[in-house]
C-alpha cells in the first residue's frame, strides 16, 4: 500500500515557536494530550529519518486513522505544536488533510499527530502526463487549498506531489505540514534560509532570502502543474546553483517562445485587418 501520509525525510524546520515551559507546582499543565494507548497500531505506511507514520485504529470509535510520530522532546516538541496548530487552522477544508487529535506517550515523551486516513501519495500516480482538463480539475483543488492556507496566515513551504494525497473519486488533499509555519508580517525574516524540497523551492529562497511570503507556495504549485502536464519534474538538478540555472534557462526559453509567437501572430494577420491600439 502506498504511503497514505508522506513521512518527512528531514527534521522539521526550526521556528520561533517556544516549547511549553515546565508547569509550576500545583498548576495545571498548559497542554493536554490524549493517550497514544487510545490507538491500536496496525502498520507503518511511511518512514523518515526523524518520524514514522503508521496506520492505526481508534480503540474508542473503531475508525482507521493515520498517526505521525515525532520522537523525543525539545525542538521536536515545539515542531509538533507548530505543525498541529497549522493543521488545526485549516480544519474543515476538503483539500487539506484533517487533524483529529494530538496524543502523547507518557513513558517515552513521544508526541503523535492523529489525522484522517485518506488516499495514497499523488507521486505514485504521476507516471504519465495528464490532460489539460484533468490538470485544471486538480489545480482548482490545490489552489483552493492554498487560498485556505494563506487566509489563515499559514505557509506550507513544502508543496510537492509527495505531499499531496489522491483519494478515491479523484479528490486531492495537501498533507505533511512538517515545514508549515505561521506567516510573519511582510518584511520580517524567517529563522531559516530554506526549508522544503529544493526542486520546488522558489528562486528567492534558493538565492538565500529569508524574507518571503505566500508566493513560495504558489511557485511550488506552478512546478506541480508543469509536472501534471508533462509527466516529469520541471526542475531536476542536484544543487541549488543548478536549479537556479534551470530556472533562468526556462525563463529565457519562455521569453523566446513568447516573442516568436508574437511575431508570428503579427505576420499572419489577415490583410487589411485593423491593428489593436498600442498601450
Nearest to 163 by CA among 191, 194, 184, 142: 142
Contact of 193 with 23, CB cutoff 8 Å? no
CA distances, 3 to each of 33, 54, 74, 223 (Å): 26, 9, 28, 22
For 131, the grid coordinates are 490532460
Pairing of strands 111-116, 99-104: antiparallel
CA distances, 275 to each of 56, 200, 258, 262, 267 (Å): 66, 41, 19, 13, 12
Gap between the Cα atoms of 114 and 159, Å rounded: 20
For 258, the grid coordinates are 513568447
158 as an active site residue: the answer is: yes
Gap between the Cα atoms of 122 and 222, Å rounded: 16
For 14, the grid coordinates are 526550526
Cα dihedral sign for 130, 166, 204, 10? negative
Catalytic entry in 15, 158, 176, 217: 158
Helical segments of the chain, H only: 75-89, 132-151, 203-206, 215-230, 240-267
Gap between the Cα atoms of 197 and 113, Å rounded: 22
C-alpha dihedral (73, 78, 80, 83), degrees to nearest 10: -160
Q: Which residues are catalytic?
A: 158
Amino acid at each position: 500500500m502506498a504511503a497514505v501520509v508522506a513521512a518527512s525525510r528531514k527534521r522539521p524546520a526550526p521556528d520561533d515557536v517556544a516549547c511549553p515551559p515546565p508547569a509550576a507546582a500545583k498548576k495545571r499543565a498548559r497542554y493536554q494530550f490524549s493517550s497514544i494507548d487510545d490507538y491500536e497500531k496496525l502498520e507503518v505506511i511511511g518512514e523518515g529519518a526523524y518520524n514514522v507514520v503508521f496506520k492505526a485504529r481508534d480503540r474508542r470509535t473503531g475508525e482507521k486513522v493515520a498517526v505521525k510520530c515525532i520522537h523525543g522532546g525539545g525542538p521536536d516538541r515545539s515542531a509538533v505544536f507548530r505543525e498541529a496548530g497549522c493543521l488545526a487552522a485549516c480544519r474543515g477544508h476538503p483539500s487539506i488533510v484533517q487533524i483529529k487529535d494530538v496524543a502523547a506517550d507518557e513513558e517515552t515523551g513521544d508526541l503523535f499527530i492523529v489525522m484522517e486516513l485518506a488516499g495514497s501519495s499523488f507521486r505514485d500516480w504521476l507516471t504519465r502526463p495528464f490532460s489539460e482538463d484533468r490538470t485544471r480539475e486538480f489545480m482548482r483543488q490545490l489552489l483552493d487549498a492554498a487560498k485556505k492556507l494563506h487566509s489563515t496566515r499559514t505557509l506550507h513551504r513544502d508543496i510537492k506531489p509527495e505531499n499531496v494525497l489522491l483519494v478515491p473519486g479523484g479528490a486531492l488533499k495537501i498533507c505533511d505540514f512538517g515545514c508549515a509555519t505561521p506567516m510573519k508580517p511582510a518584511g520580517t525574516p524567517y529563522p531559516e534560509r530554506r526549508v522544503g524540497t529544493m526542486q520546488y523551492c522558489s528562486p528567492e529562497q534558493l538565492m538565500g532570502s529569508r524574507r518571503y511570503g505566500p508566493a513560495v507556495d504558489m511557485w511550488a504549485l506552478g512546478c506541480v502543474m508543469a509536472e501534471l502536464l508533462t509527466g516529469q519534474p520541471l526542475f531536476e538538478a542536484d544543487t541549488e546553483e543548478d536549479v537556479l540555472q534551470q530556472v533562468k534557462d526556462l525563463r529565457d526559453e519562455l521569453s523566446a517562445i513568447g516573442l516568436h509567437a508574437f511575431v508570428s501572430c503579427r505576420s499572419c494577420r489577415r490583410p487589411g485587418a485593423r491593428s489593436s491600439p498600442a498601450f
